Amino acid sequence: MDWSVAPGTRIARLPRPLQVPAVLLREILPHRRPWTYDADGLATVHHSPFLEDEAFARSYDRMAADWFRDEVVDVRWRMWLLTRWARYARAVPGAYAEFGTYRGGCARMILATAELDPGRRFHLFDTYAGIPEARLTPAEREARFAGRLADTSAGDVRELLSPWDPVPNVVAGDVFDTFPATETGPIAFAHIDLNAAAPTEHVLVHVLERLAPGGAIVFDDYGWAGYEDQRARIDAVVAGRPEELIALPTGQAVLLRAPAAA
């Protein structure tokens, strides 16, 4: 009998008194699929490489302890893809940028795994005070986006990422004010996780102006239910451009700019 319950699974989200009967039911059901990963909206029987990467696992556990605190959340597939694209972009000259940093969990994972050169900057844009109410769509207002993700601060993120100084550059404020006003130079890699449609559109337009040949943009919640307004704005910006936007089964999407011609 396998009594294990992986973080972030449907059983893990049940009240504790219901978890034991749920595990029993899981074990006795015929033709149970041997999932290698079942969390964060994704179940797969395929190879999940992070399960065999001890360095990634250690970094993830340290990150999760601070980012999620008392929550049980498993976003390893999303984090694996994010960090792999960040590593890919090391071959591209230019800065890194993240839009929607929250408590710094994703940035920490990128810094811990990408091993960026000390001469490269990683600009981290966020209000560090929650999602602003201004410019929300009617659906986002109805879903009460305003004020979400406010339990953070720029000071806390600077302290969390201080082991990688001088690479991280925390930029606090509304992205409509801070970007593109912040001079980043060419961008090799961008992670966009702003949740709301209007700031995502604003940032994407200006990132595309700066994205270096061979550079990558990763969108965190492109395919997730509840973020349809954001996805529509992304699709509208990308429509007709030469870059291909690729939706991923994790709910993410990635956009790549073609390398410069030889």
**pLDDT tens column, 94-138:** 999 999 999 999 999 999 999 999 999 999 999 999 999 999 999
Q: Is 112 left (phi over 0), alpha (psi -120 to 50) or beta?
A: alpha
Neighbour tally for 232: CB within 10 Å? 13
Instruction: Provide mean pLDDT across the span 181-208.
Output: 98
The sign one gets for the Cα dihedral 23, 46, 254, 178 is positive
Angstrom CA distances, 40 to 10, 43, 119, 250, stand at 9, 8, 35, 8
CA distances from 224 to 41, 56, 184, 247, 253 (A): 9, 25, 29, 11, 10
CB 71 within 8 A of CB 166: no
Give the pLDDT score at 3: 64
Q: Measured over all CA atoms, what is the biggest interatomic distance in the chain, rounded to whole angstroms?
A: 62
What is the pLDDT confidence band of residue 27, given thresholds at 50, 70 and 90? confident
DSSP 8-state code for residue 245? E
- Report d(CA 137, CA 135) in Å as an integer: 6
82's enclosing H/E stretch is: helix 76-88
Domain parsing of the chain, residue ranges: 50-256
Measured distance CA(66)–CA(223) in Å, rounded: 26
Separation CA 156–CA 143 (nearest Å): 28
User: Residue 13: what pLDDT?
Assistant: 79
Predicted confidence (pLDDT) at residue 53 exceeds the cutoff of 90: yes
How buried is 234 (Cβ within 10 angstroms: 0-12 exposed, 13-18 middle, 19+ buried)? buried
Q: Which residue carries 């700031």 as its tokens?
A: 199
If one looks up domain 50-256 in CATH, what number appears?
Answer: 3.40.50.150
Secondary structure string (H, E, C) spanning 19-58? HHHHHHHHHHCCCCCCCCEEECCEEECCCCHHHHCHHHHH
Do you know the residue count of the chain?
262
**pLDDT per residue as tens digits for the range 200-232:** 999 999 999 999 999 999 999 999 999 999 999
Query: Nearest-CA neighbor of 237 among 245, 249, 228, 226?
Result: 245
pTM value is 0.87
